[in-house]
Amino acid sequence: MKRVLYPGSFDPFTIGHFDLVARACKLFDEVIVGVAVNPGKNPLFTLQERADLIAASCKDFANVKVVSFEGLLIDAVQNLKADAVLRGLRAFSDFEYELQMALTNRSMLDSCETIFMMPNANTSFISSHMVKEIAFLHGKFEPYVPASVADAIHKKLEF
């Protein structure tokens, strides 16, 4: 039984995140999407809203579970008995931050392995940040997020 923890802010969950979950589902027995409390950020969606939207978007995957966590990722890894952490690498520019995070986590918890997967090239330019910016500026953000997330953004921004 191999369990992977896919952590992130997911504010909001995009089709790039969805693509990674779909790929991970084929490789791992259980994929736990871990929605992080990120004190440095002022999220559009609450932790519960983000978790609910991910659960709705991933409802057709039998081996996906959604949790939220506060505090260190390595503590979540241990509490959830995850065998590895999964992160997406979209472009070379992601690499430096991801490498630093993976190595920091492993220096704190030697057994903490991070696995990187590439999303579909069609989605690799998408980021939650860009989706929010386009939405705030009344642009067409809908193609970049699952339908339930698009509805929730419309409701949140009231347009």
Q: Which residues bind ligand PNS (CB under 6 A)?
A: 7-9, 36, 38, 72-73, 101, 104-105
**12 vs 141, beta carbon nearer ligand PNS:** 12
Question: Residue 6: what are its φ and ψ, rounded to 5°?
Answer: -105, 95
Q: Which residues are catalytic?
A: 17, 41, 90, 128
CA-nearest of 151, 131, 105, 96 to 14 is 131
Q: Are 9 and 43 in contact (CB under 8 A)?
A: yes
**101 vs 150, beta carbon nearer ligand PNS:** 101
Shortest Cβ distance from residue 158 to ligand PNS (Å)?
26
Token pair for 72 = 């260190």
Shortest Cβ distance from residue 73 to ligand PNS (Å)?
4
**10 vs 159, beta carbon nearer ligand PNS:** 10
User: Which helix (DSSP H) or strand (DSSP E) does residue 74 occupy?
Assistant: helix 73-79
Shortest Cβ distance from residue 114 to ligand PNS (Å)?
10
What's at 83, amino acid-wise?
D
